[in-house]
Amino acid sequence: MRASSLNGHSSGLFLRSIVRSCNPLAIGSVWSPLKARSLTKTAGLLSCKLMSTNTPVVRVKEKIGLTEKEKMIFDRLLATIRHFDLPTQLRVAGGWVRDKLLGKECYDIDIALDDMLGSTFVDKVTQYLASTGEEAQGQAVIPSNPDQSKHLETARMRLYDIWIDFVNLRSEKYSDNSRIPTQMDFGTAEEDAYRRDLTINSMFYNINTSLVEDLTGRGIDDLRSGKIVTPLAPKETFLDDPLRVLRAIRFGARFSFTLDEELKRAAASNDVKDALAAKISRERIGTEVDLMVSGNGPVKPIAYIYELQLFWVVFSLPHEHEPTLPEECDRVCLAYMDAAWSLLQLIGSLSLTDEQRRLSLYAALFFPFRTITYEDNKGKKIPIVNYVFRNSLKRKASDAETVVSVHSAVARLLSLIPFLESNVDGELNEDDMGIELVDIPASSKLRVLTGFLLRELKDFWRVALLIALLAYPSPIGCSEDAMFKHTELDKRKKVFQAVENAILKLGLEKIWEVKPLVTGKDIMNVLQLKCGGPLVKEWQQKLLVWQLATPAGTADECLEWMRQTHLKRIKME
C-alpha cells in the first residue's frame, strides 16, 4: 500500500498534422518500456519527424479530496457496514481514483468489494436505508457475459442522484487454450489490481481507511510520467479482454500519454486482433470509438488504430462491395480526418455544435468511402458508410443517415461554393442539381439551388460545407508538409466564412423550417384534380422554387403564378 507524494511530467504531444510521409503518429517523444518496477527516463523518437520533444508536467495531487456529495455517499456505505457488523473493505476502483488524483471531478464511481457480490451488498445498503427511513433510488443488476469478455456481475444503485456500481474483487483461473476464465473466485485487492486494464486505472481509494492504494507499485509513477502501461504482460492483459486495446489507445489520447512499446507490439499482434474481432461486441467497440471521436484530441487515437493495424478490425466492411477501395484507403481516411480536425480548430467552436463537430469528423474519416456500396439481402445497393455505422460500430441510424446525406451533398455544394464565395452570379448548371428552374430570374438561381440543398441538410449544412472544403479547390493530400497544409487550411477557413456569410445574407440559415405557401389541396383546386399524384408533387417542387426565388411573395401571388404558368403549359400543349 502506498500513500505517495505525486509530482512529475508526462510524455506525448497532441497530433496536429500528418507530415510529409503521411505517417499518422507524429505525436511526440516516446518513453522506452518499463522493466519490473524501475523507471527509465531515456526518451526515444517515433519513426517519423516529430514536432517537439518538450513534455508537459502532469500535476498529481498528494491525496484525494472528497466533495460533499461523495462524503455523504461514502458515509452511507460505511454506516451500512457498521449496521450489519460486516468486515467488508470498500474500495473505489479505477478511473475515479485516477481522475481525482489529477484534480478532475468524476461521477463514475465503481466500488470493489472484498468478500461479497455487488448485488448482495446493494441489498444490505437498501435494508440499511429502509431502517433509517430513507429509500434507495434505484437498483439494477448487469449479469456477467464471459463470451464478450465481461467476467463480472455488476450491481448498480443510485445514491444522492449518482449511480454507483458494485463488483467483487476477482481472481481468475484459465485453461491452457482459452482466455475466458474457467473459474472466478474472490480475490485480494492486489490480485484484482493486476487484472485491471492499465496501471493508471489499477489504483484503489480505500473508503475504510481514506487512503490511496497503489498495489501494482507503478500506477502513480506511470500517472506522473504520462505512460500507458498494463499491470501484467500486455498480450495477456489484452487477450483477457481485447477491448482494453481500444481503451489504452483512448486514454493515451485523452491525457496525451504515450503508449508503452511492448503494449503497442502486443496490440498489433494477430492474436489480439483476432480476439478483438471475435470476442468483443460491436456495441462495445462502437462506444469506445465514439468516445475517441467525441474527445478533445480525436485524431491521435484513430492514428494509433491505423499504426497498430487495427483499422479494418474496428471499421470492418462487408466482403463484397464496389468499387474497390482506394489504395492505402485507411491512411487516406486518417488524412481527411486530420485535415477536418485542423479546419475545425481554425474555424472555432461558434459555428458548429458538439454533435455537428462529432459527425463532421466521422464524415471526414469515411469520406473515401462515399462512392462505395454493397448489396443488402434484398439485392439493394446501400452506401458502405451505412454498414460501418450500423454493423461495425452499432451506432444509431441517424448518424449513418446524416453522414450519408453529407457525402451525397458534397458534389452539389462544390458547384455552388465559387458563386457563394464570390457573391457573383454566374452560369449555374441547375441540371446538375436535379432542379428545373422555369421563368426564374438568373439573379435568383443561386438562392433557389442553395435553398434546396439546405432543406435536405438542415442543421448539418455547415458540416457538409466543411467536408466539401476538404476537396475545394482541390483535395488536401497527405504528402504536403506542415507549413503548406497550414496555409491551405487557412485559405479554406476563409472560404468557409465567406460561404457561411453568403448563406446568412441570402436568408437561408433556417430555410428548412419555412413552410410552403401553398398546400397540396390548393394545387389540386387549381389543377381541378380529385386526388393527388405525381402531378401534385411536380407542382409542389415548382412552387417551392418560386417561393425561394421570391422570398417576399405571398400565398395569393404564388397561386396566381401557378395559374398563369399552368395556362401557358395548356396553350403550348
Share of the chain above pLDDT 70, in %: 82
- Check if the beta carbon of residue 110 is closer than 8 Å to that of residue 91: no
Q: For the domain covering 226-315, report its CATH number.
A: 1.10.110.30
- Check if the beta carbon of residue 240 is closer than 8 Å to that of residue 280: no
Among 268, 288, 271, which Cα is nearest to 279's?
271
Among 371, 373, 256, 259, which Cα is nearest to 310's?
259
Q: What is the pLDDT of residues 142-171, one digit of tens each?
A: 765 544 444 467 899 999 999 999 999 976
Instruction: Dig out the grid coordinates for 217 from the structure.
Output: 507499485
Instruction: Please check the confidence at residue 527 and state whether its pLDDT lies above 60.
Output: yes
Q: What is the model's pLDDT at position 24?
A: 34
Q: What is the pLDDT of residues 229-264, one digit of tens each?
A: 999 999 999 999 999 999 999 999 999 999 999 999
H and E: helices and strands count for the chain: 22, 15
Q: What is the model's pLDDT at position 479?
A: 59
Q: Distance between CA atoms of 116 and 526, rounded to whole angstroms?
A: 77
Grid cell 454506516 in the structure block, residue: 79
192 by Cβ neighbours in 10 Å (0-12 / 13-18 / 19+) ranks as buried
Share of the chain above pLDDT 90, in %: 68
Instruction: Please check the confidence at residue 54 and state whether its pLDDT lies above 70.
Output: no
The beta-strand segments (E) located in 146-249 are 154-159, 162-168, 170-174, 181-186, 204-206, 211-213, 227-228
- Check if the beta carbon of residue 195 is closer than 8 Å to that of residue 240: yes
Q: What is the model's pLDDT at position 395?
A: 97
Strand 162-168 relative to strand 109-113: parallel, antiparallel, unpaired? parallel
For 331, 366, 484, 522, the CA distances from 487, given in Å and listed in that order, are: 22, 24, 5, 54
Neighbours of 205 (CB within 10 A): 25
Q: What is the model's pLDDT at position 31?
A: 24
Q: What is the model's pLDDT at position 7?
A: 34
Q: Distance between CA atoms of 308 and 90, rounded to whole angstroms?
A: 38
For the chain, the structural domain boundaries read 59-219, 226-315, 346-514, 520-572
Among 156, 153, 239, which Cα is nearest to 195's?
239
- Check if the beta carbon of residue 540 is closer than 8 Å to that of residue 520: yes
List Cβ neighbours of 298 (8 Å cut-off, separation of 6 or more): 253, 292, 337, 341, 361
Instruction: Please check the confidence at residue 17 and state whether its pLDDT lies above 90.
Output: no
Q: Distance between CA atoms of 92 and 109, rounded to whole angstroms?
A: 7
Q: What is the model's pLDDT at position 243?
A: 96
Mean pLDDT confidence for 347-368 = 93
pLDDT band at 532; cut points 50, 70, 90: confident
Neighbours of 443 (CB within 10 A): 9
Q: What is the mean pLDDT of the chain?
A: 84
pTM over 0.95: no
Could you please state the CATH topology (level 3) that the domain comprising 59-219 is classified under.
Beta Polymerase; domain 2 (3.30.460)
Q: What is the pLDDT of residues 214-233, one digit of tens each?
A: 999 999 999 999 999 999 99
Q: What is the DSSP track for 406-467?
A: HHHHHHHHHHHHHHHHHT------GGGGT----S--HHHHHHHHHHHHHHHHGGGHHHHHHH
The better pLDDT of the pair 36, 196 is held by 196
The beta-strand segments (E) located in 94-202 are 109-113, 139-142, 154-159, 162-168, 170-174, 181-186
Mean pLDDT confidence for 171-188 = 56
Instruction: Please check the confidence at residue 512 and state whether its pLDDT lies above 80.
Output: yes
Within 13 Å and on the Cβ side, how many CA atoms surround 229?
Answer: 28
Instruction: Dig out the grid coordinates for 286 from the structure.
Output: 462502437
Within 13 Å and on the Cβ side, how many CA atoms surround 393?
Answer: 25
Q: CA-CA-CA-CA torsion for 306, 309, 313, 315, nearest 10 degrees?
A: 20
Q: Distance between CA atoms of 373 and 358, rounded to whole angstroms?
A: 23
Q: Distance between CA atoms of 535 and 163, rounded to whole angstroms?
A: 57
Q: What is the DSSP letter of 327?
A: T
Please, what's the b/e burial string for 329-363 (b: 16 or more CB within 10 A of its CB; e: otherwise)?
Answer: bbbbbbbbbbbbbbbbeebeeeebeeebbbbbbbb
